[in-house]
Amino acid sequence: MSQASTPSLTPKIFINKVLAGTATGIIVGLIPNAVLAAILQLFGNNPVALSLTHVVVVFQCTTPLLIGALIALQFGLAPLDMAIVAGAAYVGSGVTKFSAEAINPATKTAGTYLSAGTGDLINTMLTAALAVALTLWIGNKFGSVKIVLSPILIGAGSGWIGFLILPYVAKITTWIGNLINSFTNLQPILMCILITCMFATIIITPISTVAIGMAIQLNGLSSGAAAMGVAVTTVVLVVHSWKTNKSGITIAVALGAMKLMIPNLFRHPIILLPILTTSIISAIPVAIFNVLGTPASAGFGLVGLVGPLASINAGLNIVIALIVWFVIPIAAALLSRFVFEKMLHIYDEKKVFAYLGE
């Protein structure tokens, strides 16, 4: 049997399982490149550093594959079904696309497949969810020919549907990016608050902050504010996690695994209260001290110290950088936790911030 508890699988449980698998898959795929990229740059053209850089970039491209496999694992699917869901998710993500203009290195003719980035994470989820639903629906109906029919009908079929809807789903990310970019026309402090709050929220959704930052080319002050939003969510989650979750979860979040909390956001939206409050406080110094960034740094925040290093490279004093990136967000997060949980008892951190992926 592929799934022992199918009768009790409600839509809510189904969605939560998809979100949990997606959150873990994203982190596993992104962490190596996010953490090591800035460090490896310090070694310049060192052959070992360059080869390791290539490895973590290629590993990042497997993110949709990892997401599909981990979503399937959430449903307790058999190895064959897990592989089929993973393959469908990879195809639907669009991480590998055919380019008619690129030259195939093997044949020296035009037309080859190119892989880059992580693909569209929302479409990855939808494709994987479709493959899982078909797997559960069909069950063992294919009998002895399952090993032939399942990869074709469920794997390639779901992947094909994902491929067809990809251009339309991708417009969601584009729309969000355009909305954020419009904030740059506002007054600097208000702009920084809006962008910081937006990225602080997006980092705990399936949408990639890195992809948005690169897609709309956030730069300068808007990039600094975006990176601060990601940093704030990291700090708030760590502050609320250290007494609630296992140390491994807290460390993972501190290193960049904020998307582990995607299920928490959907189940307990109240977690946005301390996140947005801390974002508002932390965004003001970004505007005052002119904290700048680049499109590449906008979606990383504290991961690999990408955000702080980018602002320092843009001319920010190191002492000011420490205050802006660490002292103020940590103080604001601790204050928010004290006021909202300890004083007002608006939420119980051991419930709303408890890791739901296990």
Q: Is the pLDDT of residue 173 over 60?
A: yes
Per residue in 70-123, pLDDT (tens digit) is 999 999 999 999 999 999 999 999 999 998 888 888 778 888 889 887 888 889
pLDDT at 6: 46
**Least confident stretch, 12-16, 182-186, 290-294, 317-321:** 182-186
Rg of the chain over Cα atoms, rounded to whole angstroms, equals 21
pLDDT score recorded for residue 136: 96
pLDDT in tens, 134-172: 999 999 999 999 999 999 999 999 999 999 999 998 887
Q: Work out the end-to-end distance of the chain between its first and last CA atoms, rounded to an integer number of angstroms.
A: 22
Count Cβ neighbours within 10 Å for each residue of 116-131 and write b for 16 or more, e otherwise: ebbbbbbbbbbbbbbb
Query: Residue 66 — pLDDT band, cuts 50, 70, 90?
Result: very high
Residue 100 confidence (pLDDT): 86
Between 82 and 8, residue with greater pLDDT: 82
Per-residue model confidence (pLDDT) at position 74 = 94
Q: Say what the pTM is.
A: 0.72
Over residues 191-249, the pLDDT tens digits come to 999 999 999 999 998 877 876 776 676 888 999 999 999 999 999 999 999 889 898 88
pLDDT of residue 303: 83
Q: Is the per-residue pLDDT at 35 higher than 90?
A: no
pLDDT of residue 2: 45
Residue 116, pLDDT score: 84
- Segments of 104-201 assigned E as strands: 110-115
By C-alpha distance, which of 163, 81, 75 is closest to 126? 163
Q: What is the mean pLDDT of the chain?
A: 89
Q: What is the DSSP letter of 102?
A: E
Q: What residues form DSSP beta bridges with 110?
A: 103
Note the pLDDT of residue 214.
67
Q: Is the confidence at residue 3, as pLDDT, over 50?
A: no
Inter-residue contact 16 to 263 (CB < 8 Å): yes
More confident residue, 187 or 276: 276
Give residue 276's pLDDT band: very low, low, confident or very high (50, 70, 90).
very high
